[in-house]
Amino acid sequence: MTEYSAPRRDIEFVLYELLDYEQHCQKLPNGSEVDRDTVTAIVDECGKFCENVIAPLYNIGDKEGCQWEDGNVTTPTGFKEAYEQYVEAGWPSMTHDPEVGGQGLPESLETVISEMIGAANWPWAMYPGLSHGAMRTIGLHGSDEQKQAYLTKLVEGTWTGTMCLTESHCGTDLGMLKTKAEPNDDGSYRITGTKIFISAGEHDLSDNIVHIVLARLPDAPEGTKGISLFIVPKFLPDANGDVGDRNGVNCGSLEHKMGIHGNATAVLNFDGATGYLIGEANRGLNCMFTFMNSARLGTAIQGLAHAELGFQNSLAYAKDRLQMRSLSGAKNPDGPADPIIVHPDVRRMLLTQKAFAEGGRMLAFYIAFHLDTEKYGSDEEKALSADLLALLTPIAKAFMTETGFESANLGMQVFGGHGYIQEWGMEQNVRDCRISMLYEGTTGIQALDLLGRKILQSQGELLKRFTKIIHKFCQAHQEEESLKEFIEPLAQLNKEWGDLTMHVGLAAMNNLEEVGAASVDYLMYSGYITFAYLWARAAVVAQGKLDGAEKDYYDAKLKTARFYFQRILPRTQALAVIIKSGADNLLAMDEEQFQY
């Protein structure tokens, strides 16, 4: 079975040495109270909860799965008790507004906590994870009455939330949805329709489940402009705000899935269920984007989580597993063979996992800092952070899940045949990770959003906001001889990024299909450069601390950065060639020619 240990030292490195969390917190409400000792204690306690409570349930959840009977769902052994401990410890309320029962800590801390919980047990993590998106949506778009009725219970953790978008005939194309919302005389609505693929849609962990549902009013215009957003609770609140009568929403079945068996992915039937409009009528998709962006960043953390879990377990196995002798001479002469970690190809796999896990952590926390700043910074800081979040969200979601899946596969590969059997849990990590590239918008959808909507529609301005930051960083360190191996290729790629973008933009002026043809390769290209910027920053920090007390740690950080730049970053060269090859090689073949 898999084992998990919270990466406390690396979390500390990213927060305090790479991103200067102490200075960052000084700009936030109550930030002066968030000193390093407090954060260290929070990370340590969450690490213990993850290691001792939910990590041991990871393989159990996969074997038992969730059980459906007459519309009710029972979660695997230990899940409910773990959730009770989670609520009792106050984890759901940590980063929310004290006015609704929160503790008022920076939102960025939620990312740190989410990584550890997700890496320890992603299927379990999805239950509280979906609730955070529901909280943000109601908090930003709900009425005062809705906040009082639902937000306080969600923050408390006694109620959980979901996001209900998908229907059997429409996934990404939400303009096709058919779920109806008919007005009642009391200002509520009758919601009728069926939603599928609803993560944590029905379970026994909480007293109530608050569904955030997209539906269409009777007089709504066609397409996405005619979608409204509703709160549809499993149980209607009574006069005291507690669980009251059962609403007309029921779980028709659970999906039979490739992975994440410990999380209930439900088919939900809304049979005239009572719902309450959030925000303006026919503006539901705008409100839902709050939830969707939250979910996309959460899914990026899933990629990081599976990379970390795969790395930790394959590293431990590689140190212990004896196979063959090193080509340069025996490294374990007293044993029958050498540990496989001495072999170059095994090191290639381990270092790739390490580079993606640590790079993903840097990007996830970097984005979390900008979430704080977008909310609490000056007007100028808010504008910059909003632009960076618009650019980096699709990159993080798609790139971190693609590389997370690559890492999970490499983790299984390190185990050889043992990785393919259930005993070690590595095949579970691969199965559980695979969904991350599909839900909350596939890699292709994220790529179209990045290249078409964010970059080309802004005439490249969103990209320039980020490349300017990279440019200034490279300028600041260009004269440092010890860093040239990082700064020079980063500066070159940063310029090429702009040139490549212009190439695609010009090609798209003659044929719009060029955008779709280039998009996924362009996104991956962008992800490799984004990681390179963060790894270069890490190298700067590590280089300056090689003479200190933790020389081995910083030396390892520097060597991982070097591996990334020399072994992984060159993938951008092939991607640039592919992007420039254009759309013709994809579109030249007639549909009939695909079939033999």
Active site positions, annotated: 440
Task: Please list, in sequence order, all residues whose beta carbon lies within 8 angstroms of the beta carbon of residue 301, skipping any fewer than 6 positions away.
Answer: 111, 114, 115, 118, 364, 400
Beta bridge partners of 228: 215
Q: Which of 92, 97, 62 is nearest to 78 (CA)?
A: 62
Write the single-letter amino acid at 326: S
> Is the separation of the CB atoms in 76 and 70 below 8 Å?
no
Nearest-angstrom CA–CA distance, 444 and 460? 20
| Residue 83: both structure tokens together | 């959730």
| Residue 590: both structure tokens together | 């007639």
Residue 20 gets the label, from left (phi > 0), alpha (psi -120 to 50) or beta, of left
> Is the separation of the CB atoms in 213 and 178 below 8 Å?
no
Q: What is the DSSP string of 272-314?
A: EEEEEEESSTT-HHHHHHHHHHHHHHHHHHHHHHHHHHHHHHH
> Is the separation of the CB atoms in 119 and 129 below 8 Å?
no
In the numeric block, the tokens 């909480």 are attached to 206
> Is the separation of the CB atoms in 374 and 367 below 8 Å?
no
Nearest-angstrom CA–CA distance, 445 and 292? 13
First vs last C-alpha separation in the chain: 44
Q: What angle do CA 534, 539, 540 make, to 5 degrees?
A: 100
Using DSSP's 3-state secondary structure scheme, residue 230 falls into strand
Q: For the chain, how long is the longest CA-to-CA vector?
A: 83
Q: Which long-range contacts (CB under 8 A, 24 or more apart) does 218-225 make?
A: 218/180, 218/182, 218/183, 220/281, 220/282, 221/282, 222/175, 223/175, 224/174, 224/175, 224/285, 225/282
Q: Are strands 235-237 and 243-246 parallel, antiparallel or unpaired?
A: antiparallel
What count of Cα atoms within 13 Å lies in the side-chain half-sphere of residue 514? 18
Nearest-angstrom CA–CA distance, 396 and 398? 6
Q: What is the DSSP string of 40-96?
A: HHHHHHHHHHIIIIIGGGHHHHHHH--EEETTEEEPPTTHHHHHHHHHHTTGGGTTS
Q: Which of 103, 548, 111, 77 is nearest to 370 (CA)?
A: 111
Host H or E run for residue 572: helix 571-580
- How long is the chain? 596
In the numeric block, the tokens 């990370």 are attached to 43
| Residue 576: both structure tokens together | 């640039």
> Is the separation of the CB atoms in 521 and 579 below 8 Å?
yes
Q: What angle do CA 432, 371, 110 make, to 5 degrees?
A: 50
Q: Are strands 159-164 and 208-215 parallel, antiparallel or unpaired?
A: parallel
